[in-house]
Structure 1
């Protein structure tokens, strides 16, 4: 993941590199939450719906937390960091969650395969790949409009 953000948005245009960096950032938070939610839900014997709800909630939590962490490190007050994270990540995380959970649900047997199954982990990896590919152009469009991940650029060093 690019940490220098060499490909900033200028004059209403966003580079594919900036969008990829934003999407990888989003995917990282989503993946942490998704995996943790799937592991907890499965370990507790929860059904598919309850497990997905937990995974999605944790994906949003970790997605926002990663953005807030960077913004807070830049000296922004907590309340403002929350606002920045909500503005930066809500659309991206929403798209990513709809896509990756949709893929998991439509892959036959994936949600019922269990944590020890290659089917489960293979389907999850595939779901993350599809979610990245769908969310990447969405982030490019958002950044080009000065929204989405573009709102955190001022806080990156």
Structure 2
């Protein structure tokens, strides 16, 4: 993988991780609070932007960049990527029959979320690549902070991405277990009907 593709993959994974954290948190809060689908989606999108920006801003601040300067660069660098992911992710969730109504203990929700985030990654990658080719997007943050690994995702981003994947799989496992627990037991072998 060439350096620009690696940087685009890193930028896309970085945005995806923040988006996933914000969206899942928003969906959990909205579902638990009994919000409407529209209010839940609005909360999820807002939190996706917050966490997306936060995951990009913190490494710059840790590298010695002032918070306001770091946030200004991150807003310019990540907004189009996060926006692309949010549009695609929410469109996929809306298009999968029953995904929005499924609830957090239904495997349809978790499988749909995994599909939506995967499609969002695929669509946002060329957006990030085009921004990097123009010296915009994630390339802006590389000029501010030299601790970032230009070859690919940072350990911090990779660790967070693994955590998000584990959380999604955990949600899927719990929802499948809940479905199985609620299913009627099969008749015992040799039992009369």
TM-score in terms of structure 2 length = 0.74
Q: What are the within-5 Å matches in structure 2 for residues 2-151 of structure 1?
A: 8=3, 15-151=4-140
| Shift >4 Å, 4+ stretches | none
Number of positions where the alignment pairs a residue of Structure 1 with one of Structure 2: 146
**1:134 counterpart SS class:** helix
1:156 aligned to which of 146, 157, 165: 146
Output the CA distance in 1 between the equivalents of 2:77 and 2:84: 13
For the 8 Å contact 1:113–1:120, the answer to whether it is kept is: yes
Q: Deviations over 1:111-148 (max 9, x none)?
A: 00000000000000000000000000110000010001
Give the secondary structure class of the aligned counterpart of 2:50.
helix
C-alpha RMSD of matched pairs (Å): 1.2
Larger radius of gyration: 2
C-alpha separation in 1, matches of 2:15 and 2:131: 13
**Partner Cα separation in structure 1 for residue 30 and residue 56 of structure 2:** 25
Runs of at least 5 residues in structure 1 that lack an aligned partner in the other structure: 1-5, 9-14
